[in-house]
Amino acid sequence: MTATKTHHGKGAHAPVPHSVHTTLIFFILALGAFAIGTAEFAAMSLVPMISTGMHVSVPQAGHAIEAYAAGVCVGAPLIAMLGARQSRKYLLIGMMLLYVLGNGLTALAPNYVCLLLCRFISGLPHGAYFGTAGIVASSLVPENRRTQAVARVVLGLTVATIGGVPMANGLGLVVGWRWAFVLIAALALCTMLLIMWFVPTDPPRPHASAMMEIRALRNRQVWLTLGIGVVGFGGIFCVYTYLASILQEVTHAPAYMTPVMLAVFGVGMTVGTMACAWAADRKMMPTIGGTLLVNAAALAGFPGSVHSVWGMMPIVFMIGCGGGLGTVIQSRLLSVAVNAQSLAAALNQSAFNMANAIGPWLGGMAISVGLGWESVGWVGACLAMGGFMMWLLTLSDIRAAARRQAGG
């Protein structure tokens, strides 16, 4: 497949020469997403090992996850604004270099404080990488395939939940948790070198600026779209965070079923990402609303399925499918934030991490007040419906703007 000489809006990636195969570029960008996805999700399973190795409690070791998320929320908008004028190829190289350093230093961290600092550094390029890689990918295809292009990048993250996480976790069990971060650093280094060699260089954008990106965010549709992600995504994380505990405490499943069920979720997320992208390239807004409703139904069905492993599997698969919403949200942000694509796409990752905090927090509250482990399904369904309410508000705002334009 050869690249297409199309670009989308101001500040889009420069047209790629026909001699460069877009399939290879998609693979390289997805490999970076695979490294980041492995680091993000595997770190959760490494917490007990970090606790033992660092001689701290499990909750203290869990702060390493929070430090990474804090890095994502800080780094995503900061790098997007500071790099507004830079070549996107060199931005990707710089972010992968930072990821190599952050994870490599994590593997060498001599004490707990250094560990937290290294995890914060590792999180800085996370959101901006997905934002920039999504823009580069979408510039390689016609507009009616833009969401699918973004999905091919995000696919690296979803595949990480199936293969990368068990690989890193297994490495941690066999030779120690530090080697899992060495693996992640090696994947990031490989991605960086491949970007240097194969991704075409686009020119800097001297007319772009941080202030231009910020001014473009005055568009209400940007914030409404981000709101859908913050609220709607929370339900998925609400269940995913407590899935292993539910399998042990409620389902009483054998230990080997935990990675199997997590893999089922990952397969669902992979299928959902591709299916939602295909649908969104045809009808964007109906795809968002429909995904939220289907996800709400799956989450509402979760409490009734927790007493049977086989009953849980199709429900967990469908909840995972709801993860396809992320790609659609990012593609819509690229459409509505014409002069702030980098910042808006990066903010999508901040929204994703906010959902990652809100969902488990609300689910934990429900469990702590005695509603039972399975109550996370109902909490998740409420969050998905909250996202649907945000979608209705977004739709209403679009129609109101159309009426004002017609009247003017």
Statement: the pTM of the whole predicted model exceeds 0.95: no
User: Residues 190, 198: contact at Cβ < 8 Å?
Assistant: no
DSSP assignment of 222-270 equals HHHHHHHHHHHHHHHHHHHHHHHHHHHHTS---TTHHHHHHHHHHHHHH
**Strand, helix or coil for residue 12:** coil
Mean pLDDT of 251-269: 85
pLDDT at residue 288, as a whole number: 94
The CATH architecture assigned to 1-208 reads Up-down Bundle (1.20)
User: Residues 333, 8: contact at Cβ < 8 Å?
Assistant: no
pLDDT at residue 305, as a whole number: 93
CA distance linking residue 164 with residue 160, whole number of Å: 4
Q: Is the pLDDT of residue 56 over 70?
A: yes
pLDDT at residue 11, as a whole number: 41
Q: Please tell me which residue, 363 or 84, carries the higher pLDDT value.
A: 363
The domain limits of the chain are 1-208, 212-408
Mean pLDDT of 251-273: 86
Average pLDDT, the chain: 84
Which band of pLDDT confidence, cut at 50, 70 and 90, is reported for residue 187?
very high
C-alpha 178, offset from chain centre? 24
CA distance linking residue 259 with residue 329, whole number of Å: 28
How many Cβ atoms sit within 10 Å of the Cβ of residue 114?
Answer: 14
CA distance linking residue 14 with residue 5, whole number of Å: 9
Q: Please tell me which residue, 129 or 338, carries the higher pLDDT value.
A: 129
User: Residues 65, 176: contact at Cβ < 8 Å?
Assistant: no
List of long-range contacts for 299-302, beta carbons under 8 Å, 24+ apart: 299/235, 299/236, 299/238, 299/239, 299/377, 299/378, 299/380, 299/381, 299/384, 300/377, 300/378, 300/381, 301/377, 302/239, 302/374, 302/376, 302/377, 302/380
66-80, 182-196, 223-237: segment of lowest average pLDDT? 66-80
**Strand, helix or coil for residue 369:** coil
Q: Is the pLDDT of residue 397 over 50?
A: yes
Domain 1-208 matches domain 212-408 at the CATH topology level = yes
Tokens of residue 173, six digits: 């069990």
CA distance linking residue 80 with residue 64, whole number of Å: 24
**Residue 56, amino acid:** V
pLDDT at residue 384, as a whole number: 95
pLDDT at residue 301, as a whole number: 95
pLDDT at residue 315, as a whole number: 96
pLDDT at residue 216, as a whole number: 63
Q: Output phi, psi for 200, to 5 deg.
A: -65, 150
Q: Please tell me which residue, 161 or 239, carries the higher pLDDT value.
A: 239
Cα distance from N-terminal residue to C-terminal residue, the chain: 45
**Residue 60, amino acid:** Q
DSSP assignment of 61-73 equals HHHHHHHHHHHHH
Using CA of residue 113, residue 118, residue 120, residue 121, what is the dihedral sign?
positive
Percent of the chain residues past pLDDT 90, beyond the cut: 34
Q: Is the pLDDT of residue 76 over 60?
A: yes
- For 114-165, what is each residue's pLDDT tens digit? 999 999 999 999 888 988 898 888 888 887 787 888 888 888 888 887 888 7
CA distance linking residue 256 with residue 29, whole number of Å: 32
User: Residues 352, 298: contact at Cβ < 8 Å?
Assistant: no
CA distance linking residue 205 with residue 339, whole number of Å: 12
- For 3-52, what is each residue's pLDDT tens digit? 433 344 444 444 444 445 788 999 999 999 999 989 887 777 687 788 88
Which of 360, 214, 391 lies closest to 294 in space, CA to CA?
391
Which of 290, 278, 299, 325 lies closest to 395 in space, CA to CA?
290
Instruction: Report CA-CA distances (Å) from 359 to 127, 327, 344.
Output: 19, 19, 22
pLDDT at residue 304, as a whole number: 93
Instruction: Report CA-CA distances (Å) from 22 to 128, 129, 182, 200.
Output: 21, 18, 29, 10
Tokens of residue 150, six digits: 């973004």
Quickly tell me which residue has 């997320």 as its tokens: 269
CATH fold, domain 212-408, is: Growth Hormone; Chain: A; (1.20.1250)
Q: Rg for the chain (alpha carbons), in Å?
A: 21
**Strand, helix or coil for residue 28:** helix
Mean pLDDT of 202-209: 72
**Residue 273, amino acid:** T
Please give the DSSP secondary-structure letter assigned to residue 161: I
C-alpha 94, offset from chain centre? 20
User: Residues 38, 266: contact at Cβ < 8 Å?
Assistant: no
- The β-bridge partners of 21 are 2
